[in-house]
Structure 1
Amino acid sequence: SAGIGFAVPVNMVRWVSRQLIEDGRVKRAWLGVGVRPIDARLARQFDIKIGSGAIVGQVMPESPAAKAGLTPQDIIQTFDGQSVNGPRKLQSIVERLEVGKSYPVKLLRGGKTQSLKVTVAEMPESPRLRPQRREQPRE
């Protein structure tokens, strides 16, 4: 033993154990977007604060995001009423949502605030159905 320990948040344990008991597996919700953090360059470009959302770089065809009308360069600011300060926060919000249920999304598009409803689906098992992370926003 090298003296390394791992701590798992109790809410994560409850969420996983509840799903395992109910379904025998863990279902993660999926949005179907590739997003990037708002860095200094993007903050200047869109006249917003650094870390004030996650910018959509790619929307997977036929994904929940595509069906809801999200487009590249949308800046997701809140999801299900929770503030989004980057890709990790968005992922942690979305993956724990109930599959098949609709959730409110607040975003910036073309400098204007918009609201959408997104019905999340179960995350596909095939990696090719997930967005690639290399997409760059257009200038």
Structure 2
Amino acid sequence: AKEIIDELIKYGKVIRPWLGISYLPITPQVVSRFNLPVKSGLYVLSVIPGSPADKVGLRAKDIIRKFDGQEVKASRDLKAFISKKKVGDEVSLTILRNKETKIIRVTLGERPTE
């Protein structure tokens, strides 16, 4: 709570870290609809142009398996992992792309105001 108060005083708003993707948690229905080779993770639907994810080449159809080495099984996992970070922190995403595992390093950006 102190961090939020400090941010409000310093910036006049709360600064939230951001990747810049929309995704679906992988469920049996998502596996069959998109013919996926895995049963857990997050299926990237789109990457926002100019976002931190876009800058490091994350793409639609990538599957996020891990965030900083921790398994990502549900939307809440990714949200929880990101919420513990700060804007400017570099994190690693373990992804599956075309059946090939890759590790991408991404620097979290500031979530744009809506």
Give the TM-score of the pair, scaled to structure 1.
0.71
Matched, 1:111 2:99: yes
Tell me the residue number matched to 2:79.
91
Work out which of the two has the higher radius of gyration on C-alpha atoms and give 1 or 2: 1
Select the residue among 18, 21, 33 that pairs with 2:6.
21
Q: Distance in 2 between matches of 1:103 and 1:65?
A: 11
Summarize the Cα distance change of 1:59–1:22 in structure 2 as closer, same or farther, 3 Å threshold: closer
Task: Judging by fraction of residues, say which structure has more strand.
Answer: 2
Tell me the residue number matched to 1:46.
36
Select the residue among 48, 55, 62 that pairs with 1:60.
48
- Tell me the secondary structure at the aligned position of residue 43 of structure 2: strand
RMSD (Å) for aligned C-alpha atoms? 1.6
Summarize the Cα distance change of 1:23–1:81 in structure 2 as closer, same or farther, 3 Å threshold: farther
- Is the contact made by 1:31 and 1:63 (CA closer than 8 Å) also made in structure 2? yes
Q: Distance in 1 between matches of 2:21 and 2:49?
A: 9
- Tell me the secondary structure at the aligned position of residue 103 of structure 2: strand
- How many residue pairs match? The answer is 109
Name stretches of at least 5 consecutive residues in structure 1 with no aligned partner.
1-15, 127-139
- C-alpha displacement of 1:22: 5.8
Q: Distance in 2 between matches of 1:57 and 1:22?
A: 31
Report sequence identity in percent.
36
